[in-house]
Structure 1
Amino acid sequence: MRFQKLYIASLPRSGSTLLTRLLDQLEDVLCLPESFFPAALSRVTAAEWQDSRRIAALFVVSCSDGSPLTVDEAEKCIRDDKEATLDALASAVAVKAGRDLSKIRIVVWKFTRLVGSSAFAAQTGGRFLVLRRNPLNVFESQFRVHFGAKNRHPARFAFFESSYLAAFKGYPADRTRHMEYGDIGSKMDDLIQWMGSSGARSESGGSGVAELSAKNPWHSEINKPFQNRDHEKIANLSASQVSGYESARAMFARLPWLGSLSRKLADHRQMKVLWDLAEGVLNPTPVK
């Protein structure tokens, strides 16, 4: 079965998990847990693709909130064709979640890593949604999650952001939509219409996106009604942090090539991490 595809990309901590949780409640939409897999496929060679079990392990470790499928289950979905593999994985997740497969038309994949590796995703004819949030609020959130430790310096965060902005410019313009975090509540109907969804709600619930994501403390609010509290959170930043970020951002805006180079290096590094994790799943180190 071939599905229409929507790829959601954003900086981490921009509300993409909340958005997918809302979309996953639609009858004809299936959202998979956050996974770098479609982006990773841009970097998988033809020779690497021949090892179906290794590719299955790559899918499992690419699901940053936890995989809905085991390696064995994922391996059964690996096809000769990469896009057919995406569809088979989506079908397997839908069946496992008790969704009516005959009603699903659109599959949503979201990734907040490897965002510059979009060549394969673009080849599938899918649409891209870039979710944007006030960068100062994204910066403020770095102080509230353990994985934001490296981005708590204003200049370092501005550099990090510039790499994402460079990646977003590489998405197919005619199939890319930009949405603001603050509009999640008021413009969902417009988004659903653009996606081509009927907007009807699923009677059997979602695919488990919310359940998997809610296990992580940094997703503690995704099951609550949407409430934009950015104006409160931004007050946590000091004047020097704000001015430092704004100055650095202006500098990086004048050096767009630097953001592009940074993104390429970051994607390369992240891909190596994924392969290492996949190898660890397949060949775990014995406990002494």
Structure 2
Amino acid sequence: MPFLDKLLKEKPKTPTEVVTKLLTAFDSLTATRRSNDDRAMEKTHESVAKYLGFAKLLLFGDDEHEATKENATALAFEASRTELLSMIVKHLAELEFESRKDAAQVFGAIVRIKDNEERGPGASYVVAHPELPTLLFRGYDEPAIALNCGAMLRDCLRDDQIARKVLEGPIFLKFFEKVEVANFEIASDAFSTFKDLLVRHKQAVAQYLQEHYQETPPSSLHVLRSALRPLAEEDEQFKEEKAVIIKTISMLGAPPPPAPPPPAAVPPAPSDSAGGNPAS
């Protein structure tokens, strides 16, 4: 019987049970890898796949199980009270191909879920763990998980606070390297993430460009121009930000303005050689 058919015949699990079982399965990955027990490793991968499947059912549903906002939100809160999101990122490279895709989808859905239009528990967890976007960005260095990490990073960057931290941190300038790597798929995905960051957060981008545009590596100016062009061509919303972005595009690559001349020396006041009082 195919694995998915077997999974669907089991009783659906609660959000708490799914998160608990996933954490246990992820912990087992490290232990079984050290034991070099192939059978134990196979069972661990099956357990990870099984409970990622249940997580997807809670989040997305299927033909036989309808997803509910209540279950999806409960799963997001349970995951964010634990280290599940960190565990997914940490163990992503160890997972089998299908489980990687499922893990990326589960991670992304949890991060995107909002709580009454406010920042949801998943995004709040990422804000409190700023190393996660950095780890996901480093995933571009591993071809097997690069596209999964790119999708997960884009889900994180939907949040304004996470995006601002990335703009102000070392990751932003490193995008210029990633978009020009030899692997076309990875370079294209990195550019999509880079452009998504710029397009979604116009106010933060405008402020950043005003303050830091001269830090852009000269060899990467064409990348920044290409990513910024859609912002300059948008409609009349965000007029002030649009003006800043258009101005920045025109300035990219231009030499810095000349330094202002030093102030003229002020001549000393004439001394009163006679020592008398001024005439009345």
TM over 0.5: no
The TM-score, its normalising length taken from structure 1, stands at 0.25
Structure whose residues are more often helix by fraction = 2
Structure whose residues are more often strand by fraction = 1
Relative contact order (C-alpha < 8 Å, sep 6+): which is higher? 1
